[in-house]
Structure formats: C-alpha cells, structure tokens
Amino acid sequence: MKNRLLIIWNKQLVGTLERHTKGKVIFQYSQAWLNNVKKPISLSLPCRAEQYPPAISTAFFENLLPENNARTILAFNRRFDKKDVFAFLENFGEDCAGALSIIAEESKMDFTSGQYECINTQLVEALDKIMSNPKKYTLFPEMKKARLSIAGAQDKLPVYIEKNKFYLPVSSGSPTTHIIKPANAWFPDITKNEAFCMDLAQHIGLLVPESRLMKLGHHELFIVSRYDRNKTTQKVIRIHQEDFCQAMGLPVDRKYQESGGPGFLQCRRLADEFLSDSGVDVRINFARIMIFNYLIGNHDAHGKNFSIIHEPNLKFAPFYDLLSTQVYPLDNKFAMAIGRTYRHDRIKEHSFKQFARDMNIRPEKLNSLMAQMIQVTTKTYAPLLAEHEKKYGPSKIYNDLFEIIRSNLGQLNP
C-alpha cells in the first residue's frame, strides 16, 4: 500500500502527505520549501517544520474533493472507500483547485505543458448516459481518464477548452482552464438559471468569472472560466486559492453555518485578519453579495462558495456558483444567517441591522448599498432575462426567475 504523496506547487515540492488511519492524512512542509519559498498552502496551515495533525491536515485536503454521488461512484469505480481522502488524492489529485498538484511519491513528475486529449466524443457519450439514467450516472466518474479533482456537490468537470473543443490533461503540467456543468434532471434548466444569475451579477457590478452556455450535440452545458488559471499564448498558469472553509481549517461537513460552519461574522473576521489591505472593500463586497443572493433567492451560498486568492498577494476571489435555489421546491433557509435569521421569509429590518454589526459597517452604509442594488437590479433583470431567452431559447425558468426576483425586490423595498 502506498503511504506517501507529494504536494507540488509551480514544479516545486511543497511537502508530503502521509496516510493516517481511517482515510485521514498528515501534511508536512518540505525543508527546502520552508528555506526557499516560505509560502503557506493555506491560512490554516502556516509554514512550520512540524507535521500537522490529521484533523487539520484532512480538513484542508478533503475540501479539494467532490461530494455526494460523484464521490461515491468515483470511489466505487477505483475500488477504495469513499472516506479515504488519501486514496482520492492519489487517484485524482493531479489538477486541483488552486495551484497544487498531488502525485504519488514514485510517480514520474511530468510537467510538460500543453499535453491534452480531446474528449468531445466521450463527453457526448457520457452526457447521453446521464440523460438516460440520471440516478446511475454522473459526469465526472464517466470521464475515466480524468486524474483531477473539483470540489462541490454539483455535477461538474474541469476541462481545457480551445476553439469549442473539450480536452482533458495528459500530464501534470497541463492544467484545465474551465469548469463545465451539465443539465440536471432534478433541477430543470439549472444551466440557464446559473448562466443568467452570473450574467446579472456581472451587469450590476459584482466580480465574477466569465461564463456562458454552450451546446455540445443536443446537450446544453454551463461553462465558467477558472479564475485560478491564467491562460497565456504559451501555457496555462495555476494560481493558488482556497475557500473559506479551508482557510478556517473546517472539514467539508461543516460548510453550512447551522452545522458549525462559518457565518458572515466569522468570514468578516477572517477578512479583517488576512485581507486587511482591502478590508473595507471586502466587507462591502460581502454586503453586496448578501443582498444579491437575497434578491435572486440563492440560499446555498455557504463557506465553500467564498474563496481567497493567494498570488501574488492575498485577495478576495471572484464570486461563483451564483444561481437561484428559490425557483425549486427546496428549503428556503439561507446557508448563512442574515443577522440571526436563516429563513428567507422571516428576514426583517432587525436582521439587516445585526448583519451590519457583524460586517462592522454602519447601518446607513448598508441601507445605501441595498438601495443601489435594488435600483440597478430593478432596471436590469427583466431586459436581461429577455436577452437570455432570445439567445438561448424559451424556458419556464425565465418566468420563474422573473417572479422570484420581482417578489424579493418587493420584500426588500416595500
């Protein structure tokens, strides 16, 4: 049994992962990295010579892995326990979120760039399978040669895209550039939903990655550019990042505030401590994304949906995974309380006053931000919905989004 993995950042050995009991891992920085580079891979794992204990080590690295059904199927296909974080990273760690590549100690470190394999045919076949039996198949496990990992519960796949063709990396030195998300049988037109909400966020001034809808055969895919990649004319450069759960040392099962995960107060304190050069802007950005998620009815914005970019300096990452969950018959509780209130229909003036205190901004400033967001959203959402419907074809989701946003605007500005 293999018991050690190498952590690589920019072709350099950062440290090692050792197998612990019950699928956990132990991380340790290499002495050369500590002597020469001195960059931490996480705010929860500052540079030090000693090994990190399994709880904090596993919390960071498990947050790189997919969740739910994809995790179960991937583990089953490769014949290891789905709770075995070491085995997951051994099999799928070559291209993770951020700048890290995780490879077996005895592996030949192939950092040749530009080595990709076109997967258009296999991708269509996988999407056909998913459409025929969505309970049995998910996208990531169907792409058998993928040695990469992307966190989250949604079905998704990291790919390299060039001239409307999809590729998977052949070598560790060939990073992916985009994330694709297919249609979902349980959430009708979720691709159109996310494409619209991300576009609306961009139109009203929130920083988001470029995204679009794309047809492959008769399948519709939501495509989003990876903000943790920089594509030049010669190569793709990995940019290190981590989500707020990783930065706080929280395991993946504590991404929701009600389950012991971070709320806005904890996120603001983290930002004040580590993003102090732009602390006020970060607090204002958190206020703006809270208002935006309220307006579109995005109740699933949890601690893993906010991230920090490490290079060249620490800064707040663009927003991602923005879509309306309120259009579906789901629990209407927010992942993070606004003030002390989780339920959308119970959020009142006192909730926003407490939120302002949590964010350490004046209530008057929050009211001003809300007024600005209401004004620009009111002007923008209906014409943008019409534009999307014209571009991507008619769908009931557009009418549902219109009604949800109109209702939420009315509640926020009675």
Q: What are the distances in angstroms from CA 65 to CA 149, 282, 312, 376?
A: 6, 27, 25, 37
How far is Cα 262 from Cα 336, in angstroms, rounded to an integer? Answer: 8
How far is Cα 113 from Cα 110, in angstroms, rounded to an integer? Answer: 9
Residue 300 sits at φ, ψ, to 5 deg, of: -110, 25
Residue whose structure tokens are 């001195």: 38
How far is Cα 13 from Cα 19, in angstroms, rounded to an integer? Answer: 18
Query: Whose CA is closest to 338, among 330, 326, 328, 346?
Result: 346
How far is Cα 375 from Cα 205, in angstroms, rounded to an integer? Answer: 13
CB of 28 within 8 A of CB of 16? yes
Query: Whose CA is closest to 101, among 7, 13, 195, 223?
Result: 7
How far is Cα 328 from Cα 351, in angstroms, rounded to an integer? Answer: 24
What is the distance between the terminal CA atoms of the chain, rounded to a whole angstrom? 63
Q: In the structure encoding, which two tokens stand for residue 36, read together?
A: 């020469």
Residues sharing a CB contact under 8 Å with residue 129, sequence separation 6 or more, in sequence order: 136, 137, 142
CB of 100 within 8 A of CB of 14? yes
Q: In the structure encoding, which two tokens stand for residue 371, read together?
A: 């007024």
110 among known catalytic residues: no
Query: Whose CA is closest to 252, among 2, 33, 61?
Result: 61
Element (H, E) at 100: strand 100-104
Q: Residue count of the chain, please give it.
A: 414
CB of 268 within 8 A of CB of 278? no
DSSP for residue 412: H
DSSP for residue 52: P
Indicate which residue of 84, 228, 300, 321 is catalytic: 300
Q: Which residues are known catalytic residues?
A: 300
